[in-house]
Amino acid sequence: MTIAEGIIIKGIGGFYYVEAAGEIFECKARGLFRKSGIKPLAGDFVTISINENAENTIDQIHERKSVLVRPPVANVDRLFIVSSVCEPKPVLLIIDRLTALAVNQGIEPVVVFTKNDLDDAESYVEIYKKAGIKAFSVSCVNGEGVNLIKAELKGHISAFCGNSGVGKSSLLNAIDPDLSLKTGEISDKLGRGRHTTRHSELFKVEGGYVADTPGFSSFETDETELILKDDLPYAFKEFEPYFGQCKFSSCLHVKDKGCRIIQAVKDGDIPSSRHESYCSMMEQAKNIKEWELKKNK
Ligand SMILES: Nc1nc2c(ncn2[C@@H]2O[C@H](COP(=O)(O)OP(=O)(O)OP(=O)(O)O)[C@@H](O)[C@H]2O)c(=O)[nH]1
Ligand SMILES: [Mg+2]
Ligand SMILES: [Zn+2]
């Protein structure tokens, strides 16, 4: 038996594929993880036993720097939030939830608009640049912007996330044609994707790793993806210059009364769509707190 340190590249059907010392080992997770409710994730740094006459096992999962529920990946330091300008159209609330979830986990969000050969992406890109978030527009058809995304991957552990059909796998293929990832057709007029990518998988690109992940079709938040009321303003970095300047120290920045952040929205210094997303997330955060309080009584 040999002990080795590695990283989980993907998990399928109860097996985990661990890269260690330049090789891939198929491993089973030890029962103790199931008992403690910890599920190994793509991106986890692990200690494994390599056995000659028995299954290889994951013996230990090292402390995670970050963890995302959707897509399920660990230790990512950059999250590429991918939307297409059409087929399907961007939903800013989904993008903003994802940027906030990333920031709340200490992950840098990068917003990418694909298919800019089909429609103009500039107005979208501007919103995010104004909010101090890195934003790009790309096309896998004519290659525009692809090298800029490639450069952003350098030396990071990244994940691509976004709706099915926005072109995550296509963009990764454009960045590195050797990946030859399967891509799908758009299924109808609404531009829904067909869930072509079925599991999260890490690939080596530019001296780092990038995870391609299955697209989602809707974005129902569950509890694990909520940001607590008190943390939420900090997940919108463009609010920060105005903290401490509202009339009421308890200001939640959703009502006009003396709110400096709402003033900044009116002045055009904070994009109004970002503030709208914030308000709807705050509404949800408040409800969950009440519900939890009731449950604990
Ligand atoms: N016109 C145009 N079409 C694109 C572009 N990028 C991707 N597509 C098309 O969009 C469709 C979906 O692309 P995929 O790469 O499979 O999308 P995905 O985000 O990986 O989808 P899932 O794996 O289902 O989550 C394919 O038909 C691609 O050819 C682009 O830049 N321009
Ligand atoms: Mg895909
Ligand atoms: Zn305020």
- Phi, psi angles (nearest 5°) of residue 235: -80, -5
Which of 170, 175, 182, 192 to probe ligand 1 with, by most ligand atoms within 8 A of CB?
A: 170
In which band, very low, low, confident or very high, does the pLDDT at 73 lie, cut at 50, 70 and 90? very high
Of 212, 235, 264, the residue at which a domain comes to its end is: 212
For ligand 1, the distance from its centroid to the CA atom of residue 30, given in whole angstroms, is 37
Question: Separation of 168 CA from ligand 1 center, angstroms?
Answer: 6
The position carrying tokens 């036993």 is 49
| Residue 295 scores a pLDDT above 80 | no
Q: Does 197 share its domain with 144?
A: yes
- Domain membership of residue 132 (yes or no) is yes
User: What's the gap in Å between 49 CA and the centre of ligand 2?
Assistant: 32
Find, among 88, 226, 79, the residue nearest to 161 by Cα.
79
Nearest to 158 by CA among 192, 123, 108, 196: 108
Confidence of residue 294 (pLDDT cuts 50, 70, 90): low
Q: Does 121 contact ligand 1 (Cβ within 6 A)? A: no
**CA 238, CA 196: separation in Å to the nearest integer?**
35
- Among the bound ligands, name the one nearest to the CA of residue 254: 3
Same domain, residue pair 206 and 71 = yes
Residue 221 within a domain: no
Where residue 278 falls among pLDDT bands split at 50, 70, 90?
very high
Residues 188 and 78 in one domain: yes
pLDDT the model gives residue 150: 97
The residue written with tokens 């454009």 in the block is 174
Domains in the chain: how many in total?
3
- Per-residue pLDDT of 17-68, as tens digits, reads 999 999 999 999 987 777 788 899 999 999 999 999 999 999 999 999 999 9
Q: Are residues 207 and 76 in the same domain?
A: yes
Higher pLDDT, 107 or 70: 107
C-beta of 99 in contact with ligand 1 (< 6 A) = no
pLDDT tens, position by position, 194-235: 888 888 999 999 999 999 999 877 655 555 678 889 999 999
Q: Give the confidence band of 297 by pLDDT, cuts at 50, 70, 90.
A: very low
Query: How would you classify residue 109: left for phi > 0, otherwise alpha for psi between -120 and 50, otherwise beta?
Result: beta
More confident residue, 127 or 296: 127
Length of the chain: 297
Which among 61, 86, 109 is the end of a domain? 61
Residue 296 has a pLDDT of 46
Is residue 108 predicted with pLDDT exceeding 90? yes
Of the listed ranges 32-36, 155-159, 270-274, the one predicted with least confidence: 32-36
Q: What are phi and psi of 78, to 5 degrees?
A: -135, 130
Percent of the chain with pLDDT over 90: 75
Question: Domain boundary at 212, 236, 260, which?
Answer: 212
Which range of residues forms the domain containing residue 262?
A: 226-296
Asked if residue 84 is part of any domain, the answer here is yes
Buried b / exposed e along 254-269 (16+ C-beta atoms within 10 A): eeeeebbbbebbeeee
Beta strands in 149-257 (DSSP E): 157-161, 201-205, 208-212
CA-closest residue to ligand 1 atom 22: 164
pTM over 0.85: yes
Q: What percent of the chain has pLDDT over 70?
A: 93
The domain that holds 264 is classified in CATH as: 1.10.40.50
Residues 55 and 74 in one domain: no
